[in-house]
């Protein structure tokens, strides 16, 4: 507990926090008593949510992070240190997805999505991992996907490959940082009722998708947000290198 503030308050950064699942994560963390840095490439969306959480800016602020730019993570960390002294939690949520047949994917598009999804996870974990290691405490939580486990069915190969890479990065950071009080874990959601999933599973595709989910419905992103809150706390220190599957039974292991 020595690594936390005197009052026990933690500061959490959520990438892609302005909309969708990221916004649900920000709300859940803030409700649980975390100071929240809402980061997004869409600064307007991030500012709107931060104002909703705390219009005074004392417990919620917005910052623009393009996760394909490591310098953005460093700038955000410097802002946090200046404002609150240290950061405690990083949630790597930001991602791009695209539906395209395997043989039609342009290599440049493949590399671009890998750079955003896997590269952003690596850059954020590295920048904040150094900070966490120095302070002797930290929680890194990565949003992977069932697509990274089963190769994907409704998304492109570039998205699936990027999420598989995130699962591997989770293990690498978990192994290398554990001795310094820093844990790294992942969540691999299946199809949840989020704007990103709805953009892929349009009304004409949704019935077939639901038929392939053993529980018969889309997941609730608010549950994923609650799970992240649990993993972000000090009491989760014995959970490291794990991947929590939240997929309705589509992929069992």
N-to-C CA span, the chain: 35
Q: How far apart are CA 244 and CA 247, in angstroms?
A: 9
- Is 137 marked active-site? no
Is residue 224 within 8 A of residue 25, CB to CB? The reply is yes
Strand extents, DSSP E, the chain = 11-14, 35-40, 60-64, 89-92, 138-143, 182-189, 243-246
Q: From 64, 66, 67, 7, select the one nearest 34 (Cα to Cα).
A: 7
- 221 to each of 85, 120, 154, 188, how far by Cα in Å? 31, 22, 18, 12
Which is the catalytic residue, given 34, 84, 122, 159?
A: 159
Q: From 149, 190, 198, select the one nearest 170 (Cα to Cα).
A: 149
Q: From 21, 223, 140, select the one nearest 38 (Cα to Cα).
A: 21
| Residues forming the active site | 159
């Amino acid at each position: 507990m020595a690594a936390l503030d005197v009052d026990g308050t933690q500061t959490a950064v959520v990438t892609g926090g302005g909309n969708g699942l990221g916004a649900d994560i920000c709300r859940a963390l803030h409700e649980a008593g975390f100071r929240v840095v809402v980061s997004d490439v869409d600064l307007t969306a991030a500012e709107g949510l931060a104002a909703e959480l705390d219009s005074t800016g004392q417990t919620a602020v917005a910052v623009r992070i393009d996760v394909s730019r490591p310098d953005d993570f460093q700038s955000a960390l410097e802002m946090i240190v200046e404002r609150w002294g240290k950061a405690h939690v990083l949630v790597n949520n930001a991602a791009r997805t695209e539906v395209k047949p395997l043989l039609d994917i342009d290599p440049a598009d493949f590399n671009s999505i890998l750079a955003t999804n896997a590269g952003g996870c690596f850059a954020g974990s590295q920048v904040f991992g150094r900070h966490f290691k120095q302070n002797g405490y930290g929680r890194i939580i990565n949003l992977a996907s069932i697509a990274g486990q089963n190769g994907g069915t409704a998304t492109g190969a570039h998205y699936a490959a990027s999420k598989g890479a995130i699962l591997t990065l989770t293990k690498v950071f978990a192994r290398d940082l554990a001795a310094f009080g820093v844990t790294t874990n992942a969540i691999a959601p299946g199809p949840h009722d989020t704007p990103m999933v709805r953009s892929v599973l349009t009304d004409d595709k949704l019935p077939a998708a639901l038929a392939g989910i053993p529980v018969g419905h889309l997941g609730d992103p608010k549950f994923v947000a609650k799970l992240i809150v649990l993993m972000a706390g000090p009491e989760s220190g014995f959970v490291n290198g794990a991947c929590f599957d939240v997929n309705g039974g589509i992929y069992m292991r």
